[in-house]
Copies of this chain bind each other. A is one copy, B any other.
Amino acid sequence: MIRVLLAEDQAMVRGALTALLSLESDIEVLGSAADGESAWRELQRLKPDVLVTDIEMPGLTGLEIAQRVRRHELPVKVIIVTTFARPGFLRRALDAGVGGYLLKDAPAENLAEALRTVHRGGRAIDPQLALEAWSDADPLNDRERQVLRLAGEGQSASEIGAQLNLSHGTIRNYLSEAIGKLGAANRIEAYRLARQKGWL
């Protein structure tokens, strides 16, 4: 019997996934959590074999939980199930030692299958995504990432500078570099590109 904890913020999807997994005779859903913190608490209380978690959740993200699990050496496998086919996310997930990374686009049967694979020590990584993940690395450094994020919220160079205690000229230099590295035409395009790669 595979004992599972489910973390997913959208209640309807959470309920639906629970129903889906409960159909499998060798899987038992111990419980579910709607945000990162409670997932972390339930993880320690219920001691499941496998944690199935979304990435984007209030509080802790699924990636952060995976990192914590590794750091505390908890005996639980982690499977990420997410909407986002972003190479950067998979990259970080693998660095955090997750057992599986599935897309919500994948057929529903894959989930139970992946659960079994991971439970017996294997890995279940979405194959087409695995390729992309190693193809191109994040070219941005911390400053560029930081500045690009703020620029993407509509802030001007001066506003960003004020926030980071840097001169507006420096901000423009960083933005210019980021735009160049990403092959974009302006900050807006750069932001979108970086975002869809999972780099921001």
Q: Are B10 and A20 in contact (CB under 8 A)?
A: no
Q: How far is the CA of A103 from the CA of B154 in the complex (A)?
A: 28
Q: Shortest Cβ distance from A174 into chain B, in angstroms? A: 17
Q: How far is the CA of A17 from the CA of B17 in the complex (A)?
A: 8
Is A192 among interface residues, defined by CB-CB distance under 8 A?
A: yes
**Copies of the protein in its oligomer:** 2
Q: Are B186 and A108 in contact (CB under 8 A)?
A: no
Q: How far is the CA of A104 from the CA of B34 in the complex (A)?
A: 12
Is A14 among interface residues, defined by CB-CB distance under 8 A?
A: yes
Q: How far is the CA of A182 from the CA of B185 in the complex (A)?
A: 25
- Given A19-B16, A19-B19 in contact, is the A11-B192 Cβ separation under 8 Å? no
Q: Are A13 and B104 in contact (CB under 8 A)?
A: yes
Q: Are A12 and B185 in contact (CB under 8 A)?
A: no
Q: Which residue of B lies closest to A17 (CB)?
A: B16
- Given A102-B12, A104-B10, A107-B12 in contact, is the A154-B19 Cβ separation under 8 Å? no
Is A184 among interface residues, defined by CB-CB distance under 8 A?
A: yes
| A192 neighbours in B (Cβ, 8 Å) | 153-154
What string of 1s and 0s marks CB contacts (under 8 Å) between A100-113 and chain B?
00111111111100
Q: How far is the CA of A18 from the CA of B19 in the complex (A)?
A: 9
Q: Which residue of B lies closest to A15 (CB)?
A: B108
From B11, B81, B107, B156, A105 is in contact (CB under 8 Å) with B11
Q: Are A83 and B19 in contact (CB under 8 A)?
A: no
Q: Would you mind naming 7 contact pairs between A and B with Cβ atoms under 8 Å apart?
A: A10-B83, A10-B104, A11-B105, A12-B104, A13-B13, A16-B17, A187-B188
A interface residues with partner B (beta carbon < 8 Å): 9-20, 23, 81, 83, 102-111, 151-154, 156, 184-192
Q: Beyond the given A10-B83, A12-B107, A151-B188, could you list 9 further A-B residue pairs with CB under 8 A, ordered by the A residue number?
A: A12-B110, A13-B104, A16-B108, A18-B108, A19-B20, A152-B188, A153-B188, A156-B186, A188-B188
